[in-house]
Structure 1
Amino acid sequence: LSLNIGDSMPAVLNAANEVAVQAFLDEEIPFKDIAETIRMAMNNHKPHSINSLEDVQYADRWAREEVKKLITVTTH
């Protein structure tokens, strides 16, 4: 999915996956919530073109913050 969409979506997928898996390992979310958390972050993202390393870093940072927010909202 993310590679077909292109732009910043692969960076968002990667970062969201890393944070969601770590949340599972830290026992903050159940295993079954990993994919849903990633899906929600990707749905909330507005893809933008990647023209530099800074663009990738921006997408990565956004996704990490978004997943942390989603986990906080869904677990509290």
Structure 2
Amino acid sequence: MGKIGGQKSKRVLNSETARKMVCLREARRAFKKYHAQCFWSYDTEYKIMFADISWVAEQLMKNGNRALWQIGVKLCR
């Protein structure tokens, strides 16, 4: 946690922006983790942006197993 671990952040984010940031982080994580299984034909250094979240979810649901399907569904929310 670091030097100020456990203290509340001073950054002000509305809940919508925070949700989008979390969704983007999860999409990037899924792209890296499941690249060999679902994204093998795409560049490993591709930078996932907000507009790519639905694409990542679609690829997970189309090319993955049940667990990846569920991750894709969570990204679509």
Structure 1 length-normalised TM:
0.38
Say which structure, 1 or 2, has more relative contact order (CA 8 Å, 6+ apart).
1
Structure 2 length-normalised TM:
0.37
Flag the structure with larger Rg.
2
